Every structure is written in structure tokens, then in C-alpha cells.
Amino acid sequence: MNIQHNAASQLFTAGEAHQPPAELAYELPAPGLVDFVHTFVPEARRGQGEADALARAGLAFARAQHLRVRTSCAFMAAFVARHHAEYAAILEAV
């Protein structure tokens, strides 16, 4: 799966050029913090792992940039809860 990161738009996308993209949007609300705010996968492609792949790409970006992670998006909150051991070290302290 081809995932693109558009830092200017604060967006990760996945999909072919002739299809609407799946997307993971984020904000940088404070220095050292990324907030994943929205995940969308077109209905016809749901259940095929695209959202998980976007989540992993976004979290890898956060880790590489030494950012703490906030998950305002319900999907991202559920994803990090399912994989808590893998991502606990980069989650924002609440």
C-alpha cells in the first residue's frame, strides 16, 4: 500500500490516483505534540487494513519526530488502545 505524507496539509493519504484517498489528518497544536484528529477510508475499501496502515504511518512519523501523541480521532484512540504496549512511550500523558 502506497502511503503519502503531505506535511503542508498535515495529512497522510493512501490509495491509487484514480480513487478517492483514505486519509489520516493531524494537527500540531503545541511544540512537541501531534494530535490525530480524523481518519477516513472510502466505504468500498473499509475492512482492508488501510486505516491501520495510515495509523502506523502516522505513529511512525510521530516517533521519528520525537512528538508526543494525542488521539482526538476515535479510530486512532481505539488503535493505540489495542496496541498500547507498542505506543505507550509516545502517548501524551493525561
The domain spanning residue 63 has which CATH number? 3.40.630.30
Per the structure, how many domains does the chain have?
Answer: 1
Residues in the chain: 94
Mean per-residue pLDDT, 76-84: 97
Contact 34, 67 (CB under 8 A): yes
Q: Show the cell assigned to 7.
A: 506535511
Q: What is the pLDDT of residues 25-58, one digit of tens each?
A: 999 999 999 999 999 999 999 999 999 999 999 9
Q: Which residues pair with 15 in a beta bridge?
A: none
3-state secondary structure of 82: helix
Domain containing 62 equals 3-90
Mean per-residue pLDDT, 81-87: 97
Region of 15 please: left (phi>0), alpha (psi -120 to 50) or beta: left
Q: Show the cell assigned to 77.
A: 484512540
